[in-house]
Structure 1
Amino acid sequence: MKLVTYRINHTPARLGFVEGEMIVDAEKLGHIKQSPLPDNMLDFIDLGIDGINHAIQLLNTATKEELLDCSIPMGNATLMAPIPKPRKNIFGIGLNYTEHVAESARTLDTSKELPQEPVVFSKPTSAVIGPEENIIHNQKITKQLDYEVELAVIIGKRGKNVPKEEAMDYVYGYTVINDISARDCRRAGQWIVSKGQDTFAPMGPVLVTKADIEDPHNLNLSLKLNGEQRQSSNTKYMLFNINDLIHDLSTVFTLEPGDIIATGTPAGVGAGMTPQSFMWPGDVVEATVEGIGTLRNYVVDSEAAN
């Protein structure tokens, strides 16, 4: 099942289900079928698998006329980040692909040794933007604006000290995140200023529920900058897989429905190129994960964004 948060013009955000080239409005479908559904993503995630099954049942039993009454063409909607305002910071995982560890050691003064446990940072909720939105480049702060395509995992139920073998039971679904990073803004080894600036967490275009991704540990992921392929890899090359990450994070933090884990990026970032090649105003960046879709965003100067 593909879920979206969308709006029409400047109306409030709505929850929708993707059916071909149409978006079925969740709340309106529930009203027509006299069986309520939430109007926003977080409330729907709180319902867990029961909510998904309920929505599928309503979609499968709706007549063509009923679906038309609560649907709009995808092209008439503006897609937002699937979770436009997460309840808490996004969990980011650094140095989680072997080749990215190597290129980071060459160019970013990180250790050349493979991490023995996940490297965890966070991105504030204020960093989240959706598809087709602008990444703000403040040249007074950074001259090294970089990209990182990542598979993002959405948590579906509360968990603490989750065993690795049970970790996938806590997954609700997946989306794409572009972990934007200002490489010259790291402070004494701390990454949040580098990675947490406004607009530095593009997310989308859809949230795909767990049942529709057969194997999240075998998904191609790639990134293009202005049409040029920069990153291309597969999630099977993660050093710490999703089970590892959920287990590790849950020993420190209580995981809750709607929490987001950005699972790390492969090699090919701008900082790793020779010569280094960063993003500048006018650039178009496209991050793709197999089975989910392509997240496109535009880099704009901070002065132009004001």
Structure 2
Amino acid sequence: MKFATFRHGGREQVGLVDSEAERVYPVDVADMVELIARYDEIAPKIRMNGNAVELSQVELLAPIPYPRRNIFCVGKNYRDHAREFASSGYEAGAVKGAEIDDYPAVFTKPATCVVGPGATVDTHPKVTSAVDYEVELTIVIGKGGRDIAREHALEHIFGYTIINDVTARDRQKNHRQWFLGKALDTFCPMGPWITTADEVDAANLQVRTWVNGELRQDANTRDLIFDIPGLIETISAGTTLEPGDLIATGTPAGVGLGFSPPKFLKAGDNVTMSITGLGTLSNPFA
């Protein structure tokens, strides 16, 4: 199933999406995190009934518009991207021949970055001149836990969505860490909805990005260096994961810094991302 957060008639709601019929059916919950946390109880009561609203008549928001915690993010998790990043000059301290890490690089984005499909992303021209895009398959935790073993990791996943891990490359380089380059307001478009895990083969999904109609990123999650069970095991080691937590799993090659010269984003650009079975996320930049 697919679940969205949307605004209709001035009210924010959660709904079950019929993407073929382009309709959404409201679900009686306070927000998406409540749906996730109580899903086993709520799921049998969810129906496609006569209360449908046309998707064209609603404003889709980020599926979790107000995450309760920072978003966990994984860096350099596709081999080709790790190499393009290391050779770009934007990775502080990059060592030739050591582009592939032995352990996943994990950082966070603040929840205040989150915006929804169609929302305008601010390029922050007074702060950065090197805004980049990163399409990322994103895990939505359903069942919380700590010290989760990889063989049980998939049991803790509610579903998946798309995140654009927008990045100010100059800030990322200059500050010699990733947070400040990732943390600017509007730098985490998310959506268009969450697709439940039972409908997704996360180990075999095509991941793509277009900038102004030009295909830039095109890869498959088969190419992940650190797979999804391993990421959950690593991130949950000594740290409790909670329902509604988000883990962005990394981006493939084809980001703006990988071109010569780099193709960074500017006001007026439009970035569209798609992942098999998860829909399309599109945002203008200004």
Flag whether TM exceeds 0.5 (same fold). Answer: yes
* Structure 1 SS opposite 2:100: coil
* Structure 1 SS opposite 2:161: strand
Q: Find 1:248's aligned residue among 228, 234, 250.
A: 234
Instruction: Determine the structure 2 residue equivalent to 1:220.
Output: 206
Which whole-Å deviations, capped at 9, do the CAs of 1:66-86 have from their partners, x for residues lacking one?
A: x22x21111001100000000
CA distance, structure 1, for counterparts of residue 239 and residue 79 of structure 2 = 26
Query: Number of residues paired by the alignment?
Result: 278
- Structure 2 residue 127 is matched with structure 1 residue 126: no
- Report deviation, 1:167: 0.3
Instruction: Determine the structure 2 residue equivalent to 1:24.
Output: 25
- Report deviation, 1:39: 3.5
* Structure 2 SS opposite 1:135: coil
* Structure 2 SS opposite 1:268: coil
- Structure 2 residue 186 is matched with structure 1 residue 199: yes
Amino acid at match of 1:191: W
Task: Assess if the C-alpha contact under 8 Å between 1:97 and 1:266 holds in 2.
Answer: yes
* Structure 2 SS opposite 1:261: strand
Which whole-Å deviations, capped at 9, do the CAs of 1:93-135 have from their partners, x for residues lacking one?
A: 0000000010001112334431111100100000000000011
* Structure 2 SS opposite 1:150: strand
* Structure 2 SS opposite 1:217: coil
- Report deviation, 1:49: 3.4
- Structure showing greater radius of gyration is 1
CA distance, structure 1, for counterparts of residue 230 and residue 44 of structure 2 = 28
Which whole-Å deviations, capped at 9, do the CAs of 1:1-38 have from their partners, x for residues lacking one?
A: 000000125x13100011222111112xxxxxxxxxx1
Amino acid at match of 1:195: K
Instruction: Determine the structure 2 residue equivalent to 1:93.
Output: 74
> 1:6-17 counterparts in 2 under 5 A?
6-8=6-8, 11-17=10-16
Q: Find 1:162's aligned residue among 143, 148, 152.
A: 148
CA distance, structure 2, for counterparts of residue 274 and residue 50 of structure 1 = 53
Amino acid at match of 2:31: N
- Structure 1 alignment gaps of length 5 or more: 28-37, 60-66, 301-306
- Report deviation, 1:252: 3.8
Give the TM-score taking structure 2 as reference length.
0.94
- Report deviation, 1:52: 2.7
Amino acid at match of 2:178: W
Give the TM-score taking structure 1 as reference length.
0.88
**Relative to total residues, which structure has the larger helix share, 1 or 2?**
1
- Report deviation, 1:253: 1.8
CA distance, structure 2, for counterparts of residue 263 and residue 54 of structure 1 = 32
Q: 1:134 to 1:252 in 2, by over 3 A?
A: farther
CA distance, structure 2, for counterparts of residue 154 and residue 210 of structure 1 = 9
Instruction: Determine the structure 1 residue equivalent to 2:43.
Output: 52
Which whole-Å deviations, capped at 9, do the CAs of 1:237-274 have from their partners, x for residues lacking one?
A: 00001101000000042100000000000000000111
- Structure 2 alignment gaps of length 5 or more: none
Task: Assess if the C-alpha contact under 8 Å between 1:154 and 1:260 holds in 2.
Answer: yes
Which whole-Å deviations, capped at 9, do the CAs of 1:199-219 have from their partners, x for residues lacking one?
A: 000000010011111x10100
Q: Find 2:245's aligned residue among 259, 262, 265.
A: 259
Task: Assess if the C-alpha contact under 8 Å between 1:45 and 1:51 holds in 2.
Answer: no
- Structure 2 residue 236 is matched with structure 1 residue 236: no
CA distance, structure 2, for counterparts of residue 287 and residue 253 of structure 1 = 31
Q: Which runs of 4+ in 1 moved over 4 A?
A: none
Q: Find 2:273's aligned residue among 287, 291, 304.
A: 287
More off after superposition, 40-49 vs 193-202: 40-49
- Structure 2 residue 157 is matched with structure 1 residue 171: yes
